[in-house]
A and B are shown apart, each in its own frame.
Chain A
Amino acid sequence: MTAVSRTREARAGLGMSAPALTAIVIFFVIPAVASLLLSFTDFDIYALADLSNLRFVGFQNYARLVENPLFWKAMGNTLWFVLLGVPFVVGLSLFAAMLVNSRWLKWRPVWRVALFAPYVTTLVATAVVWRYLLHTRYGLVNYLLSLFGIAPVDWLGDPHASLPAILIFVGWKTFGYNMIIFLAALQTVPRELEEAARIDGAGWWTRLRHVTSPAIAPTVLLVSVLTVAAMFQLFAEPYVMTQGGPAQSTVTILYFMYEEGFKWWNLGSGAAVAFLLFLCILAVTLVQLRLARKAV
C-alpha cells in the first residue's frame, strides 16, 4: 500500500466515525474534562452568580474531602453496597433467568413479564410501596419473618438494617434487566450439549458447571461489570427511601456528592467526589477484566 492511499484510507475512516466521535466528545469527553477542571476550583453559588468569584484552588477540594469523616463514611457504605449488592443482584438475576428458562415452567412468557416489570416501574412510586412493605409494625416483610419466629426488624430506622433494606429494594428493582441479559445468554447454550452431558451421566450441578457456566461466563462478566458500576453510583434508592439515614448509614458516594453539590452548592467539591468515584469504578473494572482474562 502506498503512503497516499493509506492517508486516503485513514481520512475515509475518520470521516465515517466522525458522527459517533463527535457525540462521544460532546457528551462524554468535554463534560468529564470540565468536571475534572471544576474539581480544582472553588466553584460555588457565588461563582454561579458572578464568574469572577471563581478561583483556582489546586488540590484543596481533595485535601478537604480526605479530612471529611462523612466522605469516608459514604465511601465505606458504598463499598458495602458493592460487596454485598453485586453478588446479590447477579445471583438473583441468574437464578431468575434459569427459572424462566427451564422447560418445566408453565406460562413462561407471563413469568418473564412479571419478573421484568419491577425494572420499568417508577422508582419513587415503588419506593412508597416498599416503605410500607418494610414498615416495622404493619409491613409484609416483618409479617413473613414473624412466621419463622423472627422478631420485627426496624428496617428503615435501624442503622444496621437500613443498608440491607435498601439492597433488597435495589435487587428487586434491577434484577429483571440483568435477567433478560442472562436469559439471552442461556438460550444460546446448545441443547445438544446439554443432552450429550445427560447421556454422559452428568447431573444438574455438573451440567451447570461444565455446560452452562462456560457458555455464559462472558455474560456473567459483563453483568458484573455493569452491576459494579451501578452499585458505585447508587443514589436514587437511598434518596427516596431513607435520605441517607438513619445515622448516615445509607449515605453513598453519589448521595454525598449530591449534597455537596446541590444542597451546599460546593460544586467544585462535588466535582472532586465525582472524579474520585470515576477512578474507583475504573480501577475495579480493570481488576475484574484482568481476573476474567486469567480465568477464561
Chain B
Amino acid sequence: MAGLSIRGAQKSFGDTEVLKGVSIDVADGEFAVIVGPSGCGKSTLLRAVAGLEELTGGSITIGDRDVTALPPSDRGIAMVFQSYALYPHLTVYENMAFALKIAKAGKGAIDEAVRRAAAILNIEALLDRKPAALSGGQRQRVAIGRAIVRQPQIFLFDEPLSNLDADLRVRMRYEFASLHRQLGTTTLYVTHDQVEAMTLADRIIVLRDGLIEQVGTPRELYERPANIFVAQFLGTPRMNILSATVADGGQALLADGRRIALPPTALPLAAGAPISVGIRPEDIAIGDAPGALPYTVHFVERLGGLATVHLGGREGDEPVACQLRDDGSIAEGDRLAASFAPGHLHLFDAAGRAIGVRGG
C-alpha cells in the first residue's frame, strides 16, 4: 500500500482548462473523497491518476514512484467505473480473473485470489454467471471484486453508486466503509453527492472549476467552511446566507434593516463593511429570546421526524430555512420568533471567503 501525491495537476481539452493546478496528498490507507458539482474536473482528475487521461502539466506520485508517464496497468491502481464496465461475454469468475490472467499469474494463485475476493464481497454464488444475469448491486460488487483481486496500492472509484437506487445506495455506502476498514487500502473516491462524501471520507477535497476550494475532514468542512461555496455545498438543507453590513456594537445590519449580534471574530471588522452571514438551518433556535426576530412560516416540508420550515418576514425580508423536530404543531401562516446565536454564525467577506477561517 502507498500514499498518493498529486502536484500541480493541469489538464486542458483544446482551449478548455479543466484542471488548473490541483495538488492533493492522500496518506497511506486514507479514504479521500473528491466532491464537487458536475463539470468541476473531479472525474478528469481521477482518470488522470488512473492514467486514462494524460496531464497537460504536473505530476502524480504513488508511493515513492512517479507514475505520471506510466500506462494505467503499471500504476498499481484499480478502478471501479460508474457503469461497472464488466466484460459482458465473460463470467463473474473470468471477469475477476482477467487482470491476473493477463499478468500470467498461475492458475492456483488466480483461483485463490478470486475466491478470496468473492468471499469478502459475498458473491461466491455468482461466480459462474454472466454480468447480464446480475442485478445492479451485484454488478457493483463484482466490479469491486475485480478491483480487489488486483491487490492495488490505490483504489479509484468514479461515482460508483450513481446507478443504484436510493435504498441500495445507502447499503453500499455502508459496505464501502466497512470494506475500507477491512482492507485498509488507500482510496480516492469521486462523487457529486455530498452525503456520500460526508459519510465515507476520512478527508474531503472540494473541487470547483478545476481548483480546490477546501480540503479537510468532514467535520472541519462542515463546521468551518472556507467560503460560501463550500458552506452551501455541504449539508442539506443548505446553509442560509444573509447579506449584511457590519454595524456598531458587535452587530450586523441585515439587508432587511434588522439587526443581529455577531460573534467575536467580527471584532476586527470596520463598521459599514459588507459581509455575508451564514447559519445552518439546524442552528436556528425557535422561540422568544432576547434579540429574536419575528418571522412568518411560509412553507413547511415535513420529512417525518424532521421538518424544514421556510420562514419569511415582512416584504423585503430575506427568507431563511430552519430545521426542526416535527411535532405537527407548526403550520403555514404561523408567526414565530427565530434567533441566530452568535456562536453558530459563519461570517464571509465580500469575496465570499470565510472570516477567521483558513482555507485549504
Question: How many A-B residue contacts, CB cutoff 8 Å?
Answer: 59
Q: Say how far A201's CB is from chain B's closest CB, in angstroms.
A: 3
Task: Let me know if B79 and A199 touch, CB within 8 A.
Answer: yes
Q: Say how far A64's CB is from chain B's closest CB, in angstroms.
A: 51
Output the residue of B71, B85, B90 with the most chain A CB within 10 A. Answer: B85
Chain A interface size, as a band, is 10 to 19
Which residues of chain A come closer than 8 Å to B73, judged between CB atoms? 198-202
- A210 with B79: in contact, given A200-B99, A201-B73 (CB under 8 Å)? no
Of A42-50, A149-157, A189-197, A223-231, the one touching chain B: A189-197
A215 to B88: give the CA distance in the assembly, Å.
9
Q: Say how far A209's CB is from chain B's closest CB, in angstroms.
A: 10
- A201 with B79: in contact, given A195-B52, A211-B87, A214-B88 (CB under 8 Å)? no
Q: Is B89 an interface residue (CB 8 A)?
A: yes
Q: Is B50 an interface residue (CB 8 A)?
A: yes
Give the dominant DSSP class at A's interface: helix
A184 to B52: give the CA distance in the assembly, Å.
24
Output the residue of A192, A210, A214 with the most chain B CB within 10 A. Answer: A192
A196 to B52: give the CA distance in the assembly, Å.
10
Q: Is A187 an interface residue (CB 8 A)?
A: no
Give me the interface of A with B, judged by CB distance under 8 Å: 190, 192-193, 195-202, 206, 210-211, 214-215
Task: Let me know if B87 and A210 touch, CB within 8 A.
Answer: yes
Q: Is B83 an interface residue (CB 8 A)?
A: yes
Interface pairs A-B: 6 shortest CB-CB: A201-B73, A200-B99, A196-B85, A214-B89, A192-B85, A199-B72
17 contacting pairs across A/B (C-beta < 8 A) = A193-B85, A195-B72, A196-B81, A196-B85, A196-B146, A198-B71, A198-B73, A199-B52, A199-B72, A199-B78, A199-B79, A200-B99, A200-B102, A200-B146, A201-B73, A211-B87, A214-B87
Which residues of chain B come closer than 8 Å to A215, judged between CB atoms? 88
Give me the interface of B with A, judged by CB distance under 8 Å: 50-52, 71-73, 77-79, 81-83, 85-90, 98-99, 102-103, 146, 150
Of B72, B81, B98, B150, the contact of A192 (CB 8 Å cutoff): B81
Known: A198-B73, A201-B99, A210-B98. 8 other contacts (CB 8 A): A192-B85, A195-B79, A197-B87, A199-B52, A199-B73, A200-B150, A201-B103, A206-B102
A201 to B90: give the CA distance in the assembly, Å.
17
Output the residue of B86, B89, B90 with the most chain A CB within 10 A. Answer: B89
- Smallest CB gap from A206: residue in B: B102
Which residues of chain A come closer than 8 Å to B77, judged between CB atoms? 199
Of A193, A202, A211, the contact of B102 (CB 8 Å cutoff): A202
Which residues of chain B come closer than 8 Å to A190, judged between CB atoms? 83, 85
Which residues of chain A come closer than 8 Å to B146, judged between CB atoms? 196, 200
Task: Let me know if A199 and B103 touch, CB within 8 A.
Answer: no
A125 to B90: give the CA distance in the assembly, Å.
49
Q: Say how far A242's CB is from chain B's closest CB, in angstroms.
A: 44
Task: Let me know if A196 and B79 touch, CB within 8 A.
Answer: yes
Q: Say how far A283's CB is from chain B's closest CB, in angstroms.
A: 29
Which residues of chain A come closer than 8 Å to B98, judged between CB atoms? 197, 200, 202, 210
A202 to B150: give the CA distance in the assembly, Å.
13
Task: Let me know if B87 and A198 touch, CB within 8 A.
Answer: no
- Smallest CB gap from A217: residue in B: B89
A203 to B346: give the CA distance in the assembly, Å.
53
- Smallest CB gap from B53: residue in A: A195
- A193 with B87: in contact, given A199-B50, A201-B103 (CB under 8 Å)? yes
A197 to B150: give the CA distance in the assembly, Å.
13
Which residues of chain B come closer than 8 Å to A206, judged between CB atoms? 102
- Smallest CB gap from B98: residue in A: A200
Of A193, A198, A211, the contact of B72 (CB 8 Å cutoff): A198
Task: Let me know if B52 and A201 touch, CB within 8 A.
Answer: no
Output the residue of A195, A200, A202, A210 with the most chain B CB within 10 A. Answer: A200
Which residues of chain A come closer than 8 Å to B86, judged between CB atoms? 196
Q: Say how far A45's CB is from chain B's closest CB, in angstroms.
A: 58
A195 to B90: give the CA distance in the assembly, Å.
16
